[in-house]
A = this chain, B = another copy of it.
Amino acid sequence: MTKNVFSFGEVMMRMTVPGYELLTQANTLRYSFSGTGVNIASAMIKLGYEGYLVTKLPDNPIGDAALSFLQKLSIKNNYITRGSKYLGMFFLENGFAQRASRVTYTNRLESSFNTSVLADYNIDEIAKKADIIHLCGITLAMTDQVRESMKQLAKKVKEQGGLVCFDCNYRPSLWEGGYEEAKPHYKAMLDLADIVMMNEKDAMFVLGMQTNQTTREEQLKELIPQVAETFNINIIAGTHRKINADNTHVLKGYIYKNNKFVFSDNRSFTVHDRIGSGDAFTSGILHGELAGFKLEKTVEFAVSAGMLACTISGDTPMSTAAEIEAAMLYETADVNR
């Protein structure tokens, strides 16, 4: 039977300046709706799962537009609550070569999602239905109520036998109190999680772990097993990303499970739309695990999914399993007729 994948998180309105102009130069925007939860649900639907998003949207034309957009991605409205008036928004100015992209946020703390409370969500039904639930560090950085809903969701799903996936995703600008403020909340989530997305930087900075290693890979190999053991985590996975001098990106994934590290190839590629690539990687890891792939295949699949997400306009991954598997083979068709 098709597995049910749930994600919990804020839906944001993304407003992108077309082409490579700055906000001061242009006068039009393209808009879509996204967020880690949206990306995970949508990516998993593309991979053949039932994908559900647990969130709250404002009860006004902007909420209507967000819901329409989610439905277009085949996300159902069953667990989407409506109420309140605001939606988080961000503006994206595309970078070009040596000029980096810029993201500017509006005040999201007043959004329907960030002011939502546990009672807004049908938590028991979700817990019963979910084979897996995805939660992330961005959501963890929001309000106390949201953190409460997040923890309860993780707890209840776990109690009912579902898996909990937590993506550390630490964003410095969201934690006024820095790592110290974040640490206890991260620990609480890691205690609940079966699958965790992170790398050595999260271990060192958020969890405050120490290492004498100097390269990223050595640090990773020393710290991740400690994290797995401390928090009793089944799978830890993540990526290292690098930008070449010619502005191509290099992505390398790893997965750690049963005391074994597997690394993907270094995939090098040109980037059309950077945002959402990490969520595509996560969806690849989840798919590999749910589909029973060997670790070697899982991590190559995940990194190919992350690479293809960079070839798609917008945040949301749109590639099917067949397309991702083709990309794993390093073959590029010219034109598919």
Please report A residues at the B interface, Cβ cutoff 8 Å: 15, 19-32, 60-62, 64-65, 68-69, 71-74, 77, 85-86, 89, 91, 93, 95-107, 110, 171, 173, 241, 243, 245-248, 268-275, 307-308, 310-314, 318-319, 323, 327, 330, 332-337
Contacts and interface: CB of A to CB of B under 8 A. Distances in A.
A23 B65 contact: yes
Name A's interface SS: loop
B336 A103 contact: yes
A23 B98 contact: no
Please list the 5 inter-chain residue pairs (A to B) with the smallest Cβ-Cβ separation, ordered nearest first.
Answer: A100-B333, A99-B311, A23-B65, A72-B72, A96-B311
Copies of this chain in its oligomeric complex: 6
A89 B108 CA distance: 13
- Give the interface centre of A29, A104, A105, A110 by most chain B CB atoms within 10 Å: A104
20 contacts: A23-B62, A28-B31, A29-B31, A60-B104, A68-B74, A69-B72, A71-B72, A72-B72, A85-B107, A96-B272, A97-B270, A97-B271, A97-B272, A98-B269, A99-B311, A100-B332, A102-B335, A103-B337, A243-B332, A246-B270
Given A21-B313, A103-B336, 12 more contacts: A23-B62, A26-B27, A27-B31, A29-B30, A62-B91, A74-B77, A89-B106, A97-B332, A99-B327, A101-B334, A245-B268, A275-B335
A103 B335 contact: yes
Contacts of A68: 24, 72-74
